[in-house]
Amino acid sequence: MAYTIKDVAKKAGVSIATVSRVLNNQPGFSEKTKKKVQHVIEELGYEPNAVARGLINNKTHTIGVLFPELSSMLVTDFLNGIETMAHELGSSVIVCHTEADGEKTMKYLQLLNEKRIDGIIFVSAILKEEYYNYIRKMGIPMVLLSTESYAYPVPYVKVNDQHAAYSATKYLLNKGHNKIGMISGSKDDLIAGKPRIMGFKMALKDSGIAFTEDNIIYSKGFGFQDGLDGMEKLMKQSPEISAIFAASDEIAFGALSFAYQHGIKIPDDVSIIGYDNLSIAEMAIPPLTTVGQPLIKMGKTAASMLFEMLESGNVFVENRILPHEILERETVREKR
């Protein structure tokens, strides 16, 4: 067994209250006893028991992060940002992956509740009523990362998806393309699906270009396979297209792969712009032009917001819309 506060007290010849005071830097001890106590702590290698502290303080200095899946490449950067900031602010993070499954999510929430974590970051998924109600009952702050809730007043940090999609499309337009296609996620996805589709359409409209349903592919998700399949359909359906907006970098990779397999030259035959700026975007062949989200920053911001709520005791803080950014690499070229 590790040493306890009693051991320190005994060895230092003081009461445990005094040890506790110097430990927490509470007023009420002389410089001399402080020295003495600290010396014993050093000598014993005593380290306070955070579990006991958590019990009495009702604070565990631990937050929970819920990811729908751990395999998506977005999580690495998000987690990186969250963990960095949380640690800086003195907390640990417990990761959970819900597999976008309602039951599992509830199980995780229950677990986190039993562990009495201080707050929750909920990533890239729809905040269902069931989750919201449960978390509200837990009485701890929560922030949404890369998602938002229309139904509940929960602060979020996001990029403006519609605006970012608009920018991407506009970028293509400015390069002289006027037959532009999109490989999107699901249009039923109100967070990452629809807004990007809307931004795409709006940019087209603002440039006086007619929109055809033929120019857009609705995938189930945002993965590599979706891009592979989407590209195939799009090329078949609208061969006149000279540029494509892919709703995620993974989709763009799929499109790139399909193009490679079928002798379609990127960007000579068709230009592609992605969405996300995953770390592998610059490792693509050719390096992928994309609308970047500041992923690590987003993670850090989400964590900061959570701690702001924790400290202030407010149940709400301002939402943060972080700026997106076009990263010009080599998959888009001027239309001649």
Binding site for a second copy (CB under 8 A): 2, 45, 47-52, 54-55, 60, 62, 70-71, 73, 75-77, 79-80, 83-84, 87, 92-97, 108, 110-116, 137-139, 224, 250, 253-254, 256-257, 260, 279-280, 282-287
Cα 96 to Cα 98: distance, rounded to the nearest angstrom? 6
Closest approach, Cβ 101 to a second copy, in A, equals: 12
Cα 185 to Cα 204: distance, rounded to the nearest angstrom? 18
- Cβ proximity to DNA, 13 vs 323, nearer residue: 13
- Cβ proximity to DNA, 57 vs 71, nearer residue: 57
Closest approach, Cβ 249 to a second copy, in A, equals: 10
Q: Tell me: does residue 20 bind DNA (CB under 7 A).
A: yes
- Cβ proximity to DNA, 23 vs 198, nearer residue: 23
Closest approach, Cβ 74 to a second copy, in A, equals: 10
Q: Tell me: does residue 1 bind DNA (CB under 7 A).
A: yes
- Cβ proximity to a second copy, 94 vs 198, nearer residue: 94
User: Residue by residue, what is the 3-state secondary structure of 84-104?
Assistant: HHHHHCCCEEEEEECCCCHHH
* Element holding 246 (H helix, E strand): strand 243-246
Q: Tell me: does residue 291 bind DNA (CB under 7 A).
A: no
- Largest separation between any pair of C-alpha atoms in the chain: 86
Instruction: Name the 3-class secondary structure at 172.
Output: helix
Cα 254 to Cα 275: distance, rounded to the nearest angstrom? 13
Piece of the chain touching DNA by CB under 7 A; list 19-27, 99-107, 292-300, 308-316: 19-27
* 11, amino acid identity: K
Closest approach, Cβ 266 to a second copy, in A, equals: 9
Q: Tell me: does residue 52 bind DNA (CB under 7 A).
A: yes
Q: Are the beta carbons of 162 and 140 closer than 8 angstroms?
A: no
- What letters, b where the CB count within 10 A reaches 16 and e where it falls short, cover 287-323? ebbbbbbbbbbbbbbbbbbbbbbbeeeeeeeeebeee
Closest approach, Cβ 44 to DNA, in A, equals: 11
Comparing CA positions, the residue from 70, 68, 13 lying closest to residue 39 is 13
Name the site residues for DNA (rule: CB under 7 A).
1, 4-6, 13-18, 20-21, 23-24, 26, 28-33, 48-49, 52-53, 55-57
